[in-house]
Amino acid sequence: MNLAAKFRETAISVVPVMLIVFVLNFTVAPLGSELMMQFFIGGILLIIGLSVFLIGADIGLLPIGQKAGAALTSKRNLPLMLSVAFAIGVMITIAEPDVQVLANQVATVDSSMSKTLLVLMIATGVGLFVALGLARIVFQIPLRRLLIGAYAVVFVCAYFTSAEFLGIAFDSGGATTGPMTVPFILALGAGVAAVRGGKNAEDDSFGLTGLASIGPILAVLILGIMARGKTPAAETEMSAMAGEAAAGLMVFVHLLPEVLHEVFNALWPLTVMFLVFQFTLIHMPPHQFVKMIKGLVYTFFGLVFFLVGVKGGFMPAGTALGAALGGTGRGFLLIPIGLILGAVVVCAEPAVWVLNDQVETVSGGHIRRMVMLASLSMGVAVSVALSMIRVITGISLWWFLIPGYAAALILTKFCPPLFTAIAFDSGGVASGPMSSTFVLSFALGASAATGGNPVTDAFGVIAMVAMTPLIAIQILGLIYKKKEKKAAALHSIAAAPAEAVPVSAKDGE
Amino acid sequence: MMSNVAETVCTPGKIVISIVAHHQGERIAERAREAGAGGGTILSGRGTAENSVLEMLGIGDTEKDIVFIITPEDKAGLILNVLQETCASEKKLRGIAFVIDVHNIIKASVPFGCERESSGKTGGAGVATHELISIIVNSGYADDAMAAARQAGASGGTIINARGTGKEEDVKFFGMTIVPEKEMLLILVEKGHSGEVLDAIKELTCLEEPGSGIAYCMDVHDFISLGKK
């Protein structure tokens, strides 16, 4: 059955993380039995939550976004389309819990900054880029040109901004595109592409999320330029994080109201938008309408379980793990362990599953989700390992971001457009709640234990997680391109006279 | 180059359609190739819920692969047998398969060239035991059609996402062609029951608008269910 299959899949993706932490617990980094218990319960909640969330996304979030995108395009009214897209971007960002967290982080760097202003700026950034992304599909502007242009602006702004804002800005690109917004934006783009006929329609299905995550980067960088010269107050964030771990097993119960509130906040704008769309644009028949509502309910409970598990079990374990490893005088261990953790953690990101499913569907099964998962896993593994090097040595984020993004942008020239679009989407997708809690806590713990500066050293880990998939997936694209060329060459040679090969959609592999 | 034109033309022929779980389509196509089929086309679709509790919870849908294998008339039986045998021995492979008569198969052969031979007769078909109802509706409406069909006695169906190419709807929007999104619902019923199902779908209020969908029936023979019983 579908449900059982989903459970099996998510269990397969979460269990490795748990195993690794168990192994570390009994070897180099003992965490104590209470924390391990907490971590174990968290893992179970995570598996349940992820499965339920994914089922909900399948029948709720994704069809809604898809139908909305398709209906918007079918109206053939550009001002309407762009203004609705802008409104969607703004609304889902304001509601995104991660944006609130980010706003708090910025406030620790510069207390004179108004939180409302910051949230509004980020939301405007996302809204503008979502609208830009849809306009791109309509006017058929190549995604790579837009990406290069946007990142050029980003790097010019980054040059002028203060160092503290640099890490936060690039983190924000990944962090603001959370588990609710990513599926929705993904589906919105796919919907627009679905009603567009002609060649290359599938290339346009992706890319919107990638563009949307540039918005917050730019917004924070611009704020950083405005705040230049201010001195940061680094310690507050750390102590706030440490405080949470002390609550013991009751932590899950204590977290519940907070998480309920958070998820509710993320979901209600989507629900309101859905209802507005239903009665103005998409007019779904009753059966389908009820099914979508059920989907939204599932996403709600799924995400609640997931976040309670992550925050109650994984976050404290991550911090303790980082601290234990960093503090033993065997700091070099952080690098290989970061590598392994990165590889397995990405498999437990909800949005990653949604993206991989979408990729498989849009490509008609040509690009398998397991292939996507493996590439993402490799990419993120490298990024976490590099982040650990940064934590230990304190090398500036610049040295990784500039070559990384330069490589990603250069690759757009050679890589098939579909893969470029998927790659830039997967950047925002890979940096979901797992990396912004578990991996970030791990980095913070390690950074504190090795005596570094958490703000400049540890933040930035999400930026790295968001960057490496751009390269990994595009390399995958190059491999596919090469394989296809080879297969095509083989095909024309092997086409012996007697062999009449009926059309086969999958012969190309 | 033109000498490479294929000589085999199979008209009339059969189309073997098999619906199995997601990712099993390749396996089916592979076995069919071993049994003498030239190849296959695999589509992805979703199967509607098998039982009403799951359906009510909204979690009954499963991902499916639909495999189309076009073959000469004489090979269809063999392919079907091979599929049945394979599936009986492998636990994971479960699904259905059936055969439809087709004629006027046109094949573009490699590298160029296109052959056509038409034949009016639909060659010695087996006894039609089932009917395949195909319903093409605007995207999102297939689930409602399925619900109606189920009330009329159909057991389940498979939904494929598709794009329409209706002439009057082919409109440009800044140089971009807008095509209507469609869903194609395939339902197999026993011979003689298609009328009830079609009537039930016709009754749906959401399909009252002109142009909201079409439906048609085909005779199907050699219906088998694959997999261990």
Do residues A169 and A161 lie in contact, with contact meaning Cβ atoms separated by under 8 Å? yes
Of A55, A76, A361, which is closest to B44 when you measure between CB atoms?
A361
Give me the pLDDT at residue A453, please.
75
More confidently predicted of A325 and B67: B67
Task: Tell me which of A60-64, A94-98, B114-118, B181-185 is least confident.
Answer: B114-118
How far separated are the first and last CA of chain A, in Å rounded? 29
User: Is the pLDDT score of A328 beyond 70?
Assistant: no
Q: Within the 141-160 window of chain B, which residues sit less than 8 Å (CB to CB) from chain A?
A: 141, 143-144, 147
Contact call for A195 and B179, based on CB within 8 A? yes
Task: For residues A190 and A201, give the distance between their C-alpha atoms in angstroms, rounded to a whole number.
Answer: 9
CB contacts of A498 in chain B (<8 Å) are 6-8
Query: How far away is chain A from the Cα of B141, in angstroms, using its nearest Cα?
Result: 6
Of B8, B59, B108, which is closest to A55 when you measure between CB atoms?
B59
CB contacts of A70 in chain B (<8 Å) are 139, 181
Report yes or no: A58 at the B interface, CB cutoff 8 Å. yes
Of A1, A67, A196, which is closest to B177 when you measure between CB atoms?
A196
Q: Determine whether B168 is exposed, middle or buried from the number of CB atoms within 10 Å of its CB (0-12, 13-18, 19+).
A: exposed
Task: Classify residue A294 by its DSSP letter.
Answer: H
- Best mutation site among B5, B68, B179 for testing chain A: the one with the most A CBs within 10 Å? B179
Residue of B nearest to A51 (CA): B59
More confidently predicted of A457 and A401: A401
Amino acid present at A396: S
How far separated are the first and last CA of chain B, in Å rounded? 51
Residue of A nearest to B24 (CA): A365
- Best mutation site among A1, A277, A282, A363 for testing chain B: the one with the most B CBs within 10 Å? A1
Highest mean pLDDT among A150-159, A316-325, B198-207: A150-159
Closest CA to A342 of A224, A424, A442, A214: A442
Of A2, A73, A285, which is closest to B60 when you measure between CB atoms?
A2
Contact call for B144 and A288, based on CB within 8 A? yes
Query: How far away is chain A from the Cα of B12, in angstroms, using its nearest Cα?
Result: 15
User: Is the pLDDT score of A248 beyond 80?
Assistant: no
Residue of A nearest to B179 (CA): A195
Give me the pLDDT at residue B108, please.
55
Do residues A94 and A272 lie in contact, with contact meaning Cβ atoms separated by under 8 Å? no
Under the banding of pLDDT at 50, 70 and 90, the label for residue A258 is confident
Q: What is Dmax (Cα atoms) for chain A?
A: 78
Task: Classify residue A439 by its DSSP letter.
Answer: I
Report yes or no: B30 at the A interface, CB cutoff 8 Å. no
Q: Which residues of chain B have pLDDT under 50?
A: 1-8, 10, 110-125
Do residues A287 and B144 lie in contact, with contact meaning Cβ atoms separated by under 8 Å? yes
Task: Name the residue with tokens 């303790």.
Answer: A320
Do residues A95 and A268 lie in contact, with contact meaning Cβ atoms separated by under 8 Å? yes
More confidently predicted of A453 and A294: A294
Of B107, B144, B179, which is closest to A197 when you measure between CB atoms?
B179
Amino acid present at A37: M
User: Is the pLDDT score of A497 beyond 60?
Assistant: no
Contacts of A497 (CB under 8 A, 6+ apart): B3, B4, B5, B6, B7
Report yes or no: B168 at the A interface, CB cutoff 8 Å. no
Report yes or no: A489 at the B interface, CB cutoff 8 Å. no
- Best mutation site among B138, B139, B172 for testing chain A: the one with the most A CBs within 10 Å? B139
Contact call for A285 and B39, based on CB within 8 A? no
Under the banding of pLDDT at 50, 70 and 90, the label for residue A266 is confident
User: Is the pLDDT score of A129 beyond 90?
Assistant: yes
Give me the pLDDT at residue A463, please.
86
Complex ipTM, two decimals? 0.73
Average pLDDT over residues A146-173: 85
Residue of A nearest to B180 (CA): A195
- A372-386 per-position pLDDT tens digit: 999 999 999 999 999
More confidently predicted of B60 and A86: A86
Contact call for B110 and A506, based on CB within 8 A? no
Q: Within the 118-137 window of chain A, which residues sit less than 8 Å (CB to CB) from chain B?
A: 137
Convert A238-284 into a string of H (helix), E (strand) and C (coil).
HHHHHHHHHHHHHHHHHHHHHHHHHHHHHHHHHHHHHHHHHHHHHCC
CB contacts of A67 in chain B (<8 Å) are 139-140
User: φ, ψ for residue A197 (rounded to 5)?
Assistant: -85, -170
Q: Give all strands (DSSP E) within B10-146, no chain letters.
A: 13-21, 41-47, 62-72, 95-102, 107-108, 114-115, 128-138
Report yes or no: A52 at the B interface, CB cutoff 8 Å. no
Contact call for A76 and B173, based on CB within 8 A? yes
Do residues A70 and A116 lie in contact, with contact meaning Cβ atoms separated by under 8 Å? no
Report yes or no: A497 at the B interface, CB cutoff 8 Å. yes
Give me the pLDDT at residue A494, please.
58
Of A284, A287, A500, which is closest to B8 when you measure between CB atoms?
A500
Cβ neighbours, 10 Å, residue A26 = 10
Q: Within the 114-143 window of chain B, which residues sit less than 8 Å (CB to CB) from chain A?
A: 139-141, 143
Structure tokens at A300: 């709600």
Contact call for B59 and A195, based on CB within 8 A? no
CB contacts of B39 in chain A (<8 Å) are 501-504, 507
Q: Within the 77-106 window of chain B, which residues sit less than 8 Å (CB to CB) from chain A?
A: none
Q: Within the 6-25 window of chain B, which residues sit less than 8 Å (CB to CB) from chain A?
A: 6-9, 23, 25
Of A2, A139, A284, which is closest to B174 when you measure between CB atoms?
A139
* Helix intervals (H) in A96-142: 97-109, 115-139
Give me the pLDDT at residue A485, please.
87
Q: Angle between the A61-74 and A251-277 helix axes, to the nearest 10 degrees? A: 30
- The average confidence (pLDDT) of chain A is 83
Q: Determine whether A246 is exposed, middle or buried from the number of CB atoms within 10 Å of its CB (0-12, 13-18, 19+).
A: exposed
